[in-house]
Amino acid sequence: MTKRVAVLMGGWSAEREVSLVSGAACAAALRDAGYDVSEIDVTRDVGALLDALTPLPDAVFNALHGRWGEDGNVQGLLNMLDVPYTHSGLLASALAMDKAAARDVFAAAGLPVAEGVVAARDEVLAGDVLPRPYVVKPVNEGSSVGVRIVFEGDNFLGVEDWPYGAEVLVERYVPGRELTVGVMGPNGGAARALAVTEIRPNNGFYDYTAKYTEGRADHLIPAPVEAEVSDAALRYAVTAHEALGCRGVSRADFRYDDTAGGGPEGLIVLEVNTQPGMTPLSLVPEQAAHIGMPFGELVVWLVEHAACD
């Protein structure tokens, strides 16, 4: 019997448009692989979502990005329905999306994180809560949504109209290079890292626009870094994936400060994305292809390893 897969996509987060592209690409790949696929543009109408999932499919491919689709909310509903779904479960999703909580998990696992503090929005507006330069970011958004870097001499923090909640995560700015590592598993064995990619934005830092606009950033794979740095990044990514309890695929993002002589001590873990993009520009599909796993095979692997938890 042909396996029926529902692809959840869209949603109402700041990453809606990216999710629609991810979902369409994954749905097409699954159809090409012989699955019976339905595409569901998720809205706040839970009743409509339940209707769209009736009768229950054999598996759900979760292509949602950002809040409500990546933070444990949809995962909890799918757990209640007892339908297997791709990517991480409720707890890992919620932990990874809460950057402050994830930082605590990483530090407890012995991973290097930047000095940081969670502050009230009004505190950040009143003055520097860390020495400059520092990074201001929402506690629970993805894809660099809302991220600002505050350098010496800046007089505008950009949080006056902050729509991301009453709390702000402020971290020491780490100079250097942007690295990222995709991780797959577990699938009855240990998780494995895919590759190390260096991301070089063509203008400014790797913000939302640079991530999803063709030509705004170069992806260098494998990253042109020392072997010991690459090995450490691969190892740290797996440790972060396992410390959060992730499954399916995740992607760990790093800053690598090579301004003080290089070496693994310059690596800082920034965050783990439990629902990495699956667009034509996305990093995890690119890394999978680098190790010999085409996009369609990656999507099928995710469906075949879907689970409830």
Q: Catalytic annotation on 265?
A: no
Tell me if residue 213 falls in helix, strand or coil.
Answer: coil
Residues contacting residue 61 through CB under 8 Å, at least 6 positions apart: 5, 6, 7, 8, 23, 26, 27, 30, 85, 86, 299, 302, 303, 306
Interval 254-294: pLDDT, tens: 999 998 777 899 999 999 999 999 987 799 999 999 999 99
Q: Catalytic annotation on 202?
A: no
Q: Catalytic annotation on 115?
A: no
State the pLDDT at residue 140. 77
Amino acid identity at 247: R
Annotated catalytic residue within 15, 39, 171, 242: 15
Annotated catalytic residue within 134, 212, 236, 256: 212
Tell me if residue 37 falls in helix, strand or coil.
Answer: strand
Would you list the domain boundaries of the chain?
4-87, 94-112+176-274, 116-172
CA 168 – CA 40 distance, rounded (Å): 33
- pTM for the model stands at 0.91
Q: Catalytic annotation on 171?
A: no
State the pLDDT at residue 215. 60
Number of helices followed by number of strands (H, E) in the chain: 10, 12
Residue 261 contacts residue 103 (beta carbons within 8 Å): no
Q: Is the pLDDT of residue 214 over 60?
A: no
Interval 234-258: pLDDT, tens: 999 999 999 999 999 999 999 999 9
Percent of the chain scoring above 90 in pLDDT: 74
Q: How buried is 189 (Cβ within 10 angstroms: 0-12 exposed, 13-18 middle, 19+ buried)? A: exposed
Q: Catalytic annotation on 212?
A: yes
Annotated catalytic residue within 22, 140, 143, 230: 143
Interval 82-120: pLDDT, tens: 999 999 999 999 999 999 999 999 999 999 999 999 998
CATH class of residue range 4-87? alpha beta
- Domain 94-112+176-274 part of CATH 3.30.470.20: yes
Q: Catalytic annotation on 85?
A: no
User: 4-87 and 94-112+176-274: same fold?
Assistant: no
CA 172 – CA 149 distance, rounded (Å): 10
Q: Which of 112, 65, 140, 136 is nearest to 233 (CA)?
A: 112
Percent of the chain scoring above 70 in pLDDT: 90
Residue 139 contacts residue 271 (beta carbons within 8 Å): no
